[in-house]
Structure 1
């Protein structure tokens, strides 16, 4: 028989004595640390290493965009495909930009 059924059967068979009602107030037990002890207001969210990873990732993104720029020719009437569709702009720059985004994502999830 479960504990609840036992308690229910006991309470049904013997009524509780009429006594003064005493109110007991219990404080909840928490493991929470007060805000002042957990982190001061001027503390940074991430550590120094995380900000270095973020900076490196953003630097890679900027380098990728800089590699993608250019391609303007001297003569506006001439379309030079080798400059516009070069390996540097089509392949290398997007790979560096995506690696920068990967580094930034790693830095955020690292914590």
Structure 2
């Protein structure tokens, strides 16, 4: 016999009146997240990557780089139609400022590799 015939040939038995199913509100599934802190006022101490001296070297190197760029600024003449080679191609802008910038980059590189 096929399944359909089996379903159709079931004897019907008188049953009791059906009760409505009880509906229960489902709670959302929430995964518990591990908290980094156990108390809101408690702080977690993270050690610094570099030591204090290294940060002083980095600061000095960045300061040298900024000074070098400041030495490169300027050169604007009073008359925009006049090209003054003495101001634009001065020793300060062409030679001194790039050397100071390279020195600053060298100091920063030394500070990073010092550790």
1:66 equivalenced with 2:91 (yes/no)? no
Supply the distance in 1 between the matched residues of 2:108 and 2:90 (Cα, whole angstroms): 27
More helix by share: 1
Which residue of structure 2 aligns with residue 49 of structure 1?
53
CA drift of 1:42 comes to 1.2
Which residue number in structure 2 is paired with residue 95 of structure 1?
A: 99
TM-score by length of 1: 0.63
Compute the RMSD of aligned alpha carbons: 1.0
- 3-state secondary structure, aligned to 1:63: helix
TM-score, length basis structure 2: 0.61
**Any gaps of 5 or more consecutive residues in structure 2?**
1-43
- Structure 1 stretches of at least 4 aligned residues deviating more than 3 Å after TM superposition: none
| Whole-angstrom CA distance in 1 between matches of 2:109 and 2:81 | 43
